[in-house]
Amino acid sequence: MSWLIKNRDWHIGSPQSIDLWFRQPAAVHDIAITDIIPSTYKCYPGDVVDILVIVENKGTSPEAFNVTLYYDTHLIAKTQMSQVLENKTSRSIRLEWNTTKVPLGSYTIKAEISSVPDEVDVSNNEKTDGVITIALYELLVIVVDGLGNPIPSAVVEIIGQQQASTDINGKARFSLAKGLYQVRASKGTLSSSVSVNLTGDTVLRISLVPPPYGPKAEFTASPETAMVNKLVRFDASASQPGSNGTHTMLISEYRGISVMETKQRLQLR
């Protein structure tokens, strides 16, 4: 504030009285958007995104204003009644963006506030800040064998919709909307199906495990007709190991039986 001396003849010790005037500074009107804070920068069709718009009154008197929010040039929302903000204070204005009917893509978020009478700076009445992407969910399917090893070139099918083959790491990727899906993986005679409810990016692991089977012993004798006191050699290299579905079961021992044991087994049949 300033003051003026009306009587110029007044001095210290003077008996004369004086009149003083106090001049109040002119009001400053300036309201600004200082920040835009979305709840996420990636969402999915149908999601509702919360967006905070931070407004500051940089002036010297209370101001009334409205906030309007856009994605690119399209309207998201607008405050329904004027907001009143005291001078030298700030406030967070919360608005919602329902993405149900918005096409997939990336969109720039912009906020604007209405100018106030006699505003000294309108350049800060709008702010563009951040890009929000609307995308489908990613479903990553990993196909492995019973030991957890990746299976390349397996066929993965989102039943009734999409199909892809796994890469060298046993992986196949799909872009899908939110929902319940039946996923089938197969290779050769092996096949497995699972259900998955997509509510976000998901990794699904499917194991292709053959049914268990026992080992199979196969060998040849040389000579085929045994001779008394002659050596007979047996070759079991054609034998096959078994499997319990996850681990190989090797043949650990070959054991011969006597003629008497053979006759007894034949009699029991």
Q: What is the CATH number of the domain that holds 163?
A: 2.60.40.1120
Rg (CA), the chain: 42
**Residue whose pair of structure tokens reads 């700030």 in the numeric block:** 90
Q: What is the pLDDT, as a whole number, of residue 7?
A: 52
Compute φ and ψ for 145, nearest 5 degrees.
Answer: -90, -170
Q: Do 106 and 149 fall within a single domain? A: no
Q: Residue 222: what pLDDT? A: 79
Q: How many domains does the chain divide into?
A: 3
Give me the residues of the chain with pLDDT under 50, please: 1-5, 259, 262-263, 266
Q: Which residues pair with 205 in a beta bridge?
A: 142
What pLDDT score does 223 carry? Answer: 79
Same structural domain for residues 94 and 116?
Answer: yes
Do 100 and 158 have their domain in common? no
Of 134, 162, 196, the one marking the end of a domain is 134
Q: Which DSSP symbol is given to 127?
A: E
Q: How far apart are CA 246 and CA 244, in angstroms?
A: 6
Residues 40 and 113 in one domain: yes
Query: Is residue 209 exposed (0-12), middle (13-18) or buried (19+ Cβ within 10 Å)?
Result: middle
Pairwise CA distance, residues 99 & 94, whole Å = 16
Do 69 and 159 have their domain in common?
A: no
* First-last CA distance in the chain: 121
* Within a domain: 53: yes
Both 71 and 118 in one domain: the answer is yes
**Within-domain flag for 8:** no
The verdict on 130 and 145 lying in the same domain is no
pLDDT of residue 85: 94
Which of 207, 229, 253 terminates a domain? The answer is: 207
Q: Is 11 left (phi over 0), alpha (psi -120 to 50) or beta?
A: beta
Residue 24 forms part of a structural domain: no
Whole-Å CA distances, 155 to 10, 173, 188, 192, 219: 103, 12, 9, 11, 38
| Per-residue model confidence (pLDDT) at position 244 | 65
What does the pLDDT read at residue 178? 86
Q: Which domain holds residue 187?
A: 137-207
Report pLDDT for 269. 52
Are residue 117 and residue 158 in the same domain, yes or no?
no
Q: Are 154 and 187 in contact (CB under 8 A)?
A: yes
Final residue belonging to a domain, choices 88, 103, 134: 134
| pLDDT value for 266 | 46
3 state SS of 236: coil
Residues 129, 143: one domain? no
The CATH number linked to 56 is 2.60.40.10
Residues 105 and 141 in one domain: no
Between the CA of residue 71 and those of 78, 221, 232, what are the distances in Å?
12, 83, 87
